[in-house]
Amino acid sequence: MNVHAIKAIYLFEMARTWRTLFQSVVSPVISTSLYFVVFGSAIGSRITDIEGVGYGSFIVPGLIMLTLMTQSISNASFGIYFPKFIGSIFELLSAPVSSFEIVLGYVGAAATKSIILGLIILATASLFVPLQFAHPAWMFLFLVLTALTFSLFGFIIGILAKNFEQLQIIPLLIVTPLVFLGGSFYSIDMLPPFWQNVTLFNPVVYLISGFRWSFYEISDVSVEVSLAMITVFLAMCMTTVWWIFKTGYKVKK
Protein backbone atom coordinates (compact mmCIF):
# COMPACT_ATOMS: atom_id res chain seq x y z
CA MET A 1 0.00 0.00 0.00
CA ASN A 2 1.46 3.34 -1.08
CA VAL A 3 0.45 5.29 2.01
CA HIS A 4 2.54 8.31 1.03
CA ALA A 5 0.60 8.60 -2.21
CA ILE A 6 -2.82 8.41 -0.53
CA LYS A 7 -1.67 11.07 1.91
CA ALA A 8 -0.25 13.22 -0.89
CA ILE A 9 -3.50 13.11 -2.90
CA TYR A 10 -5.64 13.69 0.18
CA LEU A 11 -3.61 16.66 1.40
CA PHE A 12 -3.36 18.13 -2.09
CA GLU A 13 -7.13 18.00 -2.50
CA MET A 14 -7.74 19.32 1.01
CA ALA A 15 -5.36 22.21 0.27
CA ARG A 16 -7.75 23.19 -2.52
CA THR A 17 -10.57 23.12 0.03
CA TRP A 18 -8.75 25.40 2.47
CA ARG A 19 -7.80 27.75 -0.35
CA THR A 20 -11.42 28.12 -1.37
CA LEU A 21 -12.78 27.79 2.15
CA PHE A 22 -14.56 31.09 2.19
CA GLN A 23 -16.64 30.45 -0.92
CA SER A 24 -17.13 26.81 0.04
CA VAL A 25 -18.60 27.75 3.38
CA VAL A 26 -20.36 30.97 2.64
CA SER A 27 -22.61 29.78 -0.18
CA PRO A 28 -24.12 26.76 1.62
CA VAL A 29 -24.60 28.80 4.77
CA ILE A 30 -26.39 31.55 2.87
CA SER A 31 -28.58 29.13 0.93
CA THR A 32 -29.46 27.23 4.10
CA SER A 33 -30.43 30.46 5.80
CA LEU A 34 -32.61 31.32 2.80
CA TYR A 35 -34.33 27.94 2.99
CA PHE A 36 -35.13 28.64 6.62
CA VAL A 37 -36.52 32.04 5.85
CA VAL A 38 -38.64 30.81 2.93
CA PHE A 39 -39.66 27.30 3.96
CA GLY A 40 -39.24 27.52 7.69
CA SER A 41 -40.84 30.88 8.42
CA ALA A 42 -42.97 31.90 5.46
CA ILE A 43 -44.40 28.52 4.47
CA GLY A 44 -43.67 26.59 7.66
CA SER A 45 -45.83 28.85 9.77
CA ARG A 46 -48.85 27.55 7.81
CA ILE A 47 -47.83 23.89 8.12
CA THR A 48 -48.68 22.05 11.30
CA ASP A 49 -46.15 19.95 13.20
CA ILE A 50 -45.16 16.71 11.51
CA GLU A 51 -45.33 13.83 13.98
CA GLY A 52 -44.71 16.23 16.81
CA VAL A 53 -41.75 17.99 15.20
CA GLY A 54 -41.99 21.63 14.13
CA TYR A 55 -41.69 22.13 10.37
CA GLY A 56 -38.50 24.22 10.65
CA SER A 57 -36.78 21.47 12.62
CA PHE A 58 -38.22 18.78 10.35
CA ILE A 59 -36.48 20.07 7.22
CA VAL A 60 -33.00 20.34 8.80
CA PRO A 61 -31.86 16.74 8.02
CA GLY A 62 -33.09 17.13 4.43
CA LEU A 63 -31.23 20.41 4.00
CA ILE A 64 -28.03 18.88 5.30
CA MET A 65 -28.45 15.92 2.94
CA LEU A 66 -29.07 18.27 0.00
CA THR A 67 -25.76 20.03 0.61
CA LEU A 68 -23.94 16.81 1.45
CA MET A 69 -24.94 15.15 -1.82
CA THR A 70 -24.43 18.08 -4.16
CA GLN A 71 -21.12 19.06 -2.53
CA SER A 72 -19.81 15.48 -2.51
CA ILE A 73 -20.55 15.12 -6.18
CA SER A 74 -19.11 18.46 -7.21
CA ASN A 75 -15.96 18.12 -5.10
CA ALA A 76 -15.10 14.64 -6.25
CA SER A 77 -16.05 15.13 -9.89
CA PHE A 78 -14.08 18.36 -10.15
CA GLY A 79 -11.12 16.88 -8.28
CA ILE A 80 -10.55 14.17 -10.86
CA TYR A 81 -11.91 15.98 -13.92
CA PHE A 82 -9.61 18.99 -13.61
CA PRO A 83 -6.31 17.05 -13.89
CA LYS A 84 -7.85 15.24 -16.84
CA PHE A 85 -8.82 18.56 -18.41
CA ILE A 86 -5.42 20.24 -18.01
CA GLY A 87 -3.46 17.06 -18.70
CA SER A 88 -1.70 16.78 -15.35
CA ILE A 89 -3.35 13.38 -14.89
CA PHE A 90 -0.29 11.91 -16.65
CA GLU A 91 1.48 12.11 -13.32
CA LEU A 92 -1.19 10.10 -11.55
CA LEU A 93 -1.16 7.47 -14.28
CA SER A 94 2.62 7.17 -14.26
CA ALA A 95 2.85 6.95 -10.47
CA PRO A 96 3.24 3.69 -8.55
CA VAL A 97 -0.28 3.89 -7.16
CA SER A 98 -3.16 1.45 -7.45
CA SER A 99 -6.61 2.58 -8.49
CA PHE A 100 -7.81 1.84 -4.97
CA GLU A 101 -5.27 4.28 -3.55
CA ILE A 102 -6.24 6.96 -6.07
CA VAL A 103 -9.91 6.58 -5.17
CA LEU A 104 -9.15 6.60 -1.46
CA GLY A 105 -7.24 9.88 -1.77
CA TYR A 106 -9.73 11.72 -3.97
CA VAL A 107 -12.95 10.37 -2.52
CA GLY A 108 -11.65 10.66 1.03
CA ALA A 109 -10.87 14.34 0.53
CA ALA A 110 -14.18 15.08 -1.20
CA ALA A 111 -16.14 13.30 1.52
CA THR A 112 -14.20 15.07 4.27
CA LYS A 113 -15.02 18.44 2.80
CA SER A 114 -18.72 17.73 2.43
CA ILE A 115 -18.94 16.33 5.97
CA ILE A 116 -17.35 19.53 7.28
CA LEU A 117 -19.93 21.53 5.32
CA GLY A 118 -22.74 19.32 6.62
CA LEU A 119 -21.65 20.03 10.18
CA ILE A 120 -21.43 23.76 9.47
CA ILE A 121 -25.00 23.71 8.16
CA LEU A 122 -26.09 21.79 11.22
CA ALA A 123 -24.54 24.52 13.37
CA THR A 124 -26.22 27.22 11.27
CA ALA A 125 -29.58 25.45 11.56
CA SER A 126 -29.27 25.26 15.33
CA LEU A 127 -29.32 29.07 15.37
CA PHE A 128 -32.77 29.09 13.73
CA VAL A 129 -34.66 26.12 15.14
CA PRO A 130 -34.55 23.73 18.11
CA LEU A 131 -32.84 20.44 17.26
CA GLN A 132 -32.72 17.02 18.89
CA PHE A 133 -30.03 14.41 18.44
CA ALA A 134 -31.68 11.11 19.37
CA HIS A 135 -28.95 8.88 17.91
CA PRO A 136 -25.73 10.88 17.31
CA ALA A 137 -23.68 7.81 16.33
CA TRP A 138 -26.25 6.81 13.66
CA MET A 139 -26.39 10.39 12.53
CA PHE A 140 -22.66 10.43 11.95
CA LEU A 141 -22.78 7.03 10.25
CA PHE A 142 -25.40 8.25 7.77
CA LEU A 143 -23.41 11.41 7.22
CA VAL A 144 -20.22 9.49 6.44
CA LEU A 145 -21.86 6.80 4.29
CA THR A 146 -23.79 9.35 2.25
CA ALA A 147 -20.74 11.55 1.76
CA LEU A 148 -18.67 8.54 0.65
CA THR A 149 -21.32 7.18 -1.69
CA PHE A 150 -21.95 10.48 -3.41
CA SER A 151 -18.25 11.33 -3.58
CA LEU A 152 -17.71 8.02 -5.36
CA PHE A 153 -20.61 8.86 -7.64
CA GLY A 154 -19.02 12.24 -8.31
CA PHE A 155 -15.68 10.58 -9.00
CA ILE A 156 -17.36 8.41 -11.64
CA ILE A 157 -18.96 11.46 -13.24
CA GLY A 158 -15.59 13.22 -13.23
CA ILE A 159 -13.96 10.33 -15.04
CA LEU A 160 -16.69 9.89 -17.61
CA ALA A 161 -17.32 13.60 -18.28
CA LYS A 162 -16.00 14.87 -21.58
CA ASN A 163 -16.53 18.56 -20.84
CA PHE A 164 -17.54 20.96 -18.09
CA GLU A 165 -21.17 20.87 -19.18
CA GLN A 166 -21.43 17.14 -18.57
CA LEU A 167 -19.80 17.71 -15.21
CA GLN A 168 -22.67 20.03 -14.22
CA ILE A 169 -25.58 18.30 -15.85
CA ILE A 170 -25.93 15.19 -13.69
CA PRO A 171 -26.02 17.04 -10.36
CA LEU A 172 -28.41 19.54 -11.88
CA LEU A 173 -30.75 17.22 -13.75
CA ILE A 174 -30.74 14.18 -11.52
CA VAL A 175 -29.54 14.83 -8.00
CA THR A 176 -31.34 18.08 -7.20
CA PRO A 177 -34.75 16.74 -8.33
CA LEU A 178 -34.21 13.48 -6.47
CA VAL A 179 -33.39 15.35 -3.29
CA PHE A 180 -36.33 17.73 -3.60
CA LEU A 181 -38.69 14.85 -4.36
CA GLY A 182 -37.06 12.66 -1.73
CA GLY A 183 -38.85 14.09 1.26
CA SER A 184 -36.40 16.84 2.18
CA PHE A 185 -39.19 19.29 2.80
CA TYR A 186 -42.11 17.00 3.61
CA SER A 187 -42.98 13.60 4.95
CA ILE A 188 -43.92 11.23 2.14
CA ASP A 189 -47.11 10.44 4.08
CA MET A 190 -48.25 13.89 2.96
CA LEU A 191 -48.33 12.71 -0.69
CA PRO A 192 -51.25 10.96 -2.42
CA PRO A 193 -50.93 7.11 -2.19
CA PHE A 194 -49.82 6.69 -5.82
CA TRP A 195 -46.95 9.15 -5.44
CA GLN A 196 -45.98 7.57 -2.15
CA ASN A 197 -45.29 4.35 -4.06
CA VAL A 198 -43.42 6.13 -6.84
CA THR A 199 -41.28 7.86 -4.26
CA LEU A 200 -40.06 4.53 -2.94
CA PHE A 201 -38.02 4.18 -6.15
CA ASN A 202 -36.13 7.31 -5.23
CA PRO A 203 -32.94 6.28 -3.44
CA VAL A 204 -32.65 9.62 -1.72
CA VAL A 205 -35.86 8.92 0.27
CA TYR A 206 -34.02 6.23 2.20
CA LEU A 207 -31.04 8.44 2.99
CA ILE A 208 -33.14 11.34 4.23
CA SER A 209 -35.51 9.10 6.14
CA GLY A 210 -32.71 7.32 7.99
CA PHE A 211 -30.88 10.54 8.66
CA ARG A 212 -34.00 12.22 9.99
CA TRP A 213 -34.66 9.21 12.23
CA SER A 214 -31.27 9.74 13.88
CA PHE A 215 -32.48 13.23 14.86
CA TYR A 216 -36.12 12.82 15.83
CA GLU A 217 -36.86 9.07 15.71
CA ILE A 218 -39.44 9.64 12.99
CA SER A 219 -39.00 8.02 9.59
CA ASP A 220 -40.78 7.21 6.34
CA VAL A 221 -39.11 3.80 6.07
CA SER A 222 -37.42 1.72 8.74
CA VAL A 223 -33.85 2.62 9.63
CA GLU A 224 -32.60 -0.88 8.74
CA VAL A 225 -33.98 -0.51 5.22
CA SER A 226 -32.33 2.91 4.98
CA LEU A 227 -28.99 1.51 6.02
CA ALA A 228 -29.31 -1.46 3.67
CA MET A 229 -30.17 0.82 0.75
CA ILE A 230 -27.27 3.19 1.25
CA THR A 231 -24.93 0.21 1.51
CA VAL A 232 -26.29 -1.05 -1.81
CA PHE A 233 -25.66 2.35 -3.48
CA LEU A 234 -22.17 2.44 -2.03
CA ALA A 235 -21.44 -1.05 -3.36
CA MET A 236 -22.81 -0.10 -6.79
CA CYS A 237 -20.55 2.94 -6.99
CA MET A 238 -17.55 0.94 -5.81
CA THR A 239 -18.17 -1.73 -8.44
CA THR A 240 -18.45 0.87 -11.17
CA VAL A 241 -15.19 2.54 -10.13
CA TRP A 242 -13.49 -0.84 -9.93
CA TRP A 243 -14.70 -1.67 -13.44
CA ILE A 244 -13.55 1.68 -14.82
CA PHE A 245 -10.02 1.16 -13.54
CA LYS A 246 -9.95 -2.51 -14.41
CA THR A 247 -10.70 -1.78 -18.04
CA GLY A 248 -8.97 1.58 -18.18
CA TYR A 249 -12.22 2.92 -19.67
CA LYS A 250 -11.93 6.65 -20.46
CA VAL A 251 -8.76 6.85 -18.36
CA LYS A 252 -6.01 5.25 -20.41
CA LYS A 253 -5.54 5.02 -24.12
Partner 1 sequence: MRSLISINNLSKTYASGFKALKGVNLDIRQGEILALLGPNGAGKTTLISIVCGIVNPSQGSVTVDGHDIVSDYRLTRAMIGLVPQELTTEAFETVWDTVTFSRGLFGKKADPAHIEKVLGDLSLWDKRDSQIMELSGGMKRRLLIAKALSHEPRILFLDEPTAGVDVELRKDMWRLIRDLRHSGVTIILTTHYIDEAEEIADRVGVINKGEIILVEEKAELMRKMGRKRLTLELLEKISSVPSKLQPYNLDLVADGGQLIYTYDTQTDRTGITSLLGELHAAGIRFRDLSTTQSSLEEIFVDLVREPE
Binding site for partner 1 (CB under 8 A): 2, 4-5, 7-9, 11-12, 15-16, 19, 83, 86-88, 90-98, 248, 252-253
Residue 138 CB, nearest approach to partner 1 (Å): 35
- Whose Cβ is closer to partner 1: residue 22's or residue 201's? 22
50 — phi, psi (to 5°)? -105, 115
Residue 252 CB, nearest approach to partner 1 (Å): 5
Residue 20 CB, nearest approach to partner 1 (Å): 9
Residues constituting the chain:
253
Q: For residue 240, count CB atoms less than 10 angstroms from its CB and return exposed for 0-12, middle for 13-18, buried for 19 or more.
A: middle
Residue 146 CB, nearest approach to partner 1 (Å): 28
- Whose Cβ is closer to partner 1: residue 65's or residue 244's? 244
Angle formed by the axes of helices 99-128 and 3-19, nearest 10°? 40
- Whose Cβ is closer to partner 1: residue 38's or residue 93's? 93
- Whose Cβ is closer to partner 1: residue 9's or residue 60's? 9
Residue 42 CB, nearest approach to partner 1 (Å): 40
- What DSSP assignment string belongs to 201-253? T-HHHHHHHHHHHHHHS--SS-HHHHHHHHHHHHHHHHHHHHHHHHHTTTT--
Indicate the residue type of 4. Answer: H
Residue 2 CB, nearest approach to partner 1 (Å): 5
CB-side neighbour CA atoms (13 Å) of 233: 24
- What DSSP assignment string belongs to 52-114? TB-HHHHTHHHHHHHHHHHHHHHHHHHHHHHHHHHSTHHHHHTSS--HHHHHHHHHHHHHHHH
- Whose Cβ is closer to partner 1: residue 15's or residue 30's? 15
- Whose Cβ is closer to partner 1: residue 144's or residue 251's? 251
